[in-house]
Amino acid sequence: MGRAPRWVRLCLAGLCLLLFPALAAPPAGLIELRHDRTEVPLAPAMRYVHDTQGDGDFASAQRWLDEGRFAPLPDGRTAFGFQDGAFWFHARVVNRDNAETRWLLVQSYALSDRIDVYARYPDGRTAFQAGGDHLPFSARSIRYRHPNFWVTLPRGEPVDLFVRVQSESSMQVPLSLFTPVAFAELSRDAQFVIGAYYGILLALFFYNMALWLSLRDASYFWYLFHLSAFGLVLFTLNGLGFEYLWPNSSWLSDRMVPLSICLAQIGMQQFARIFLGLRERWPRGDRVGLVLIAFFALLGIASTWLPYHISTPLASAAVLISIAWIAVVSIAVVRRGYAPAKLFLLAWAMFLLGTGLFVGVAFGLTPKNFLTEYGVQIGSALEMLLLSVALGHRYAQLRNENERIVREAKDQLEHKVEQRTAELRSALVQLEDAHARLRESSQRDALTGLHNRSHFRDRFDALLRQAREHRRPLSLLMIDLDNFKLINDRHGHLVGDECLRWAARTLGHALRPHQDALLARFGGEEFVVVLPGLNLAAATQVAEDLRQHLREAPFRSGTHEINVTASIGVHAIETLAVAGIDPLLQLADQALYRAKADGRDCVRTSQEEPA
């Protein structure tokens, strides 16, 4: 018998919903794409089955789904550590009213060997795609360091997504759906952060290479070796190595993880031996360091033929032992009175914390989030900076020693010691300048030049303490440019960025009469202002002045003339009652949303009752 016409089936479905309202509620585990969603993580609705033998096919997965064998993610985590076999994941997605029907499925983990994606549609059709680093990089839907797949999600049709992942690496499957625009913004921001990190590493590399070439100190050489090897580790773990260096080699994709880890640990242990002077200060600890170097050298060689599921967990676990041992020898040398070892110990503490978080995710011990995913980058950046400071401090001690030598052998060594001291002073000045530039850049938003959110929070705490101590009023403004997305959509993101810079300059100019005001970019098209010494009425007047400044002169870019308005929320802070910034930001943000709701291009306060 043929299928009923579509209008008949729709009528019957509507009748069922009227007669049985419970059927209208979305089932548990269903992901609904609404019109305002551009990025949707699958974890909240994702179910999984661990196929320990790894021999189940798509038909088996459908049968397991019908039998109810798919279970919720344990504690919502998408990291399972090193596991045998394959994992099947399932999520049902319905595009309710989103205009975008072409979505990109992204796995935010670069090292999975094989990923199979099946999209099953109501009419029985199934779309299949394959990815992972055991396929050429060119097989990916988009040239991006993380595996990705295009998925068509028509309106009103439930689509069952089945994802099979099999890998000798750590089983981490953070899956999300993105619209093309949202993915472009995500990849842009991610590439910026990664570029900034590698920019720091390159700056430190060339800076210390110049010092090594001029001073010929072995500690600088091994510092450069460790920095380069560790940069290769992160280049591999982030998927950039597979994207740029070996896009057609699954063998290198597997081998470079343990091999680069071993190289980094060799450089780390050798640098510690030289910098701390273990041969003279603690010979027994020096011998243990040599044993660890030999172990990582042998493991690096063995990783070229050992199975990946053996070499990588072994190397990852050995990293914690290696760093812990460096912490032990650092403490031992600090107790022996060597002052530069204190900075050295602090540097390794940062690195140990970041590496520990990352290894915890690899073994499924800690949840995958921003801190655990980028803990290694954060910890290593701090470590490299502190090690540079430690090297400078070490040479400061050498300078003092040279001055003592000058006093003991005046005529014979005076010229040589003064030359050495001048070189060290130049190195220290360059190091201090580099640190000052890094500190200033860390407090500024790269696009607008305003203070960033992190610096704003630090300064706000100080302003709040001052207001509390002197019993002065303090007010907070939240500013959001109206319909900014339309500027990006109509004129492009470059014009949008130029508009943000124009808005930052306009707001800064309008706030010049208020010298104590703190202006920062809060994120996206949002800005935040703190006004010390102003009560609610005065702060509201300042907000009106800012709004008028923005709308008086349109923004011009080339031939474009764009009228820009802003909605502003104002909150007067009760300085004696508050305990932190987050509740205050929420009140100012609520006032801002009332301004948005009241038609935009207006100012609302937190004391106004919502309409």
Alpha carbon distance 195, 277 (integer Å): 35
Q: Domain 453-605, what architecture? A: 2-Layer Sandwich (3.30)
Place of tokens 């709004």: 547
Alpha carbon distance 438, 464 (integer Å): 27
User: Mean pLDDT by 10-residue block, N- to C-terminus, for the chain (611 residues)?
Assistant: 41 38 47 91 94 93 94 88 91 93 93 94 94 91 93 94 92 93 87 80 79 78 84 85 87 88 91 88 92 94 87 85 87 85 74 62 56 58 64 61 69 71 73 67 84 89 88 93 92 92 94 92 92 94 94 86 93 78 90 94 84 53
Closest residue by Cα to residue 165 from 111, 95, 226, 238 = 111
Backbone angles phi, psi at 275, to 5 degrees: -65, -45
CATH number, span 25-178: 2.60.40.2380
Strand partners, 165: 87, 115
Asked whether 588 and 606 are in contact (CB, 8 A), the reply is yes
Task: Note the pLDDT of residue 393.
Answer: 60
Dump the DSSP string for 177-209: EE-HHHHHHHHHHHHHHHHHHHHHHHHHHHHHH
Q: 570-602: string of b/e by CB count within 10 Å (b at 16+)?
A: bbbbebeebeebeebbebbbbbbebbbeeeebb
Domain pair 25-178 / 453-605, same fold: no
Place of tokens 């001073």: 215
Place of tokens 């991610």: 190
Task: Note the pLDDT of residue 67.
Answer: 93
Domain boundaries, the chain: 25-178, 184-442, 453-605
Task: Note the pLDDT of residue 35.
Answer: 87
